[in-house]
């Protein structure tokens, strides 16, 4: 296996930051991932798994062995009358897995179309969009412990999914490489079109009866209209989580700010639109040097070119403090800060 010292990660993070890893290698098979764990030179030393680099803000060089997961393959592994189980390599692009499901009319992930990043990173973040989260279709994942090389299967319960959260962001952070995930998808799906602008977009598309494909296309249209392409301008998509507040807190804020947007959660709290809070504080489209919040979506932190990771992080802290000062609401950063 080829391990390269002092390797630039500029092409492997969507902020486009020229950060260097102490060492770097690409892994295209589960056996190779197990082999990395057995490499004597890196025993007991820090290792970092890199997928699509779309949920990371590097603020300094990476003093670790950076392992780029390129394990591919998408296959239907079983089915019954109601469901089909699809297994995907962790190194696949998430949207490629969605395309496979849409083309085969398997329902459940169409609302998660065009989310950047890799399949292996999806459970770490419990990715979600337009009223749907990964955990709703998740069956299991396979992972390799980076120190022992042991293979482990995690069920949904093992993953302890939360809002943009899982055990891999907490107790098991940087301990496992996710080599595959398996989804349980619907053969005769029901659809979630009530969140965001999906229904409006379907009308604009002249869709009378929604399908897996039409909902996926509606989501793609909406995301392309709102979110900048990382290939054109450096960003990681939504930088902050939508905060959740108690109902009484929401009622108080609603009296002062009648336009405040909120959605009731299954836990009885109210989820606020972080983008609305940020825009209300005057940050939307505001540029500071080479950094700013995007002109079309206040939730997106942008590298206009030449910014450092520290500059991006400092700007995010200013936005965070501004929202806290005005609304007494803390915005948690969704992106992994390193």
Enumerate the active-site residues: 164, 238, 334
- What is the C-alpha separation between 81 and 186, in angstroms, rounded? 10
Structure tokens at 215: 């909902």
- What is the C-alpha separation between 259 and 126, in angstroms, rounded? 29
Cβ(182)–Cβ(90) below 8 Å: no
- What is the C-alpha separation between 33 and 89, in angstroms, rounded? 12
Nearby residues of 274 by Cβ (< 8 Å), 6 or more positions away = 238, 240, 241, 242, 243, 299, 323, 331
Exposed e or buried b per residue across 183-215, where buried means at least 16 C-beta atoms within 10 angstroms of its C-beta: bbbbeebebbbeebbbeebbeeeebeebebebb
Nearby residues of 269 by Cβ (< 8 Å), 6 or more positions away = 244, 245, 246, 247
Cβ(205)–Cβ(219) below 8 Å: no
Q: Count the Cβ atoms, other than its own, within 10 Å of residue 321.
A: 13
Nearby residues of 328 by Cβ (< 8 Å), 6 or more positions away = none
- What is the C-alpha separation between 185 and 71, in angstroms, rounded? 22
Q: DSSP of 197-260, one letter per residue?
A: THHHHHHHTT-SS--HHHHHHHHHHHHHHHS--TTTSEEEEE-BPPPEE-HHHHHHHHHH-TT-
């Amino acid at each position: 296996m080829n391990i390269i010292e002092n390797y630039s990660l500029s092409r492997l993070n969507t902020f486009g930051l020229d950060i260097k890893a102490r060492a770097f290698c690409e892994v295209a098979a589960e056996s190779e991932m197990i082999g990395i764990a057995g490499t004597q030179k890196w025993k007991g030393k820090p290792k970092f798994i890199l997928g699509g680099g779309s949920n990371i803000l590097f603020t300094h060089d990476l003093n670790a062995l950076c392992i780029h997961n390129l394990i591919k393959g998408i296959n239907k592994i079983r089915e019954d009358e109601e469901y089909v189980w699809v297994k995907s390599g962790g190194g696949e692009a998430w949207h490629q897995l969605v395309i496979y499901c849409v083309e085969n009319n398997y329902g459940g992930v169409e609302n998660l179309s065009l989310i950047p990043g890799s399949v292996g990173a999806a459970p770490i973040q419990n990715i979600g969009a337009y009223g749907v989260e990964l955990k709703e279709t998740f069956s299991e994942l396979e992972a390799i412990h980076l120190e022992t090389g042991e293979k482990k299967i995690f069920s949904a319960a093992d993953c302890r999914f939360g809002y943009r959260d899982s055990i891999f962001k907490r107790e098991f952070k940087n301990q496992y490489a996710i080599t595959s995930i398996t989804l349980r998808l619907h053969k005769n799906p029901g659809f979630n079109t009530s969140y965001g602008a999906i229904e409006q977009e379907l009308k604009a598309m002249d869709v009378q009866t929604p399908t897996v494909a039409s909902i996926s296309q509606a989501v793609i249209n909406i995301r392309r209209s709102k979110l900048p392409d990382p290939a054109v301008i450096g960003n990681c998509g939504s930088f902050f989580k939508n905060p959740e507040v108690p109902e009484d807190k929401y009622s108080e804020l609603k009296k002062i700010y009648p336009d405040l947007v909120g959605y009731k959660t299954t836990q009885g709290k109210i989820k606020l639109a972080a983008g609305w809070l940020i825009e209300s504080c005057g940050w939307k489209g505001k540029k500071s040097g080479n950094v700013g919040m995007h002109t079309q979506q206040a939730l997106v932190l942008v590298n206009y070119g030449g910014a450092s990771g520290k500059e991006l992080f400092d700007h995010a802290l200013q936005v965070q403090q501004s929202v806290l000062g005005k609304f007494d609401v803390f915005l948690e950063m969704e992106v992994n800060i390193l």
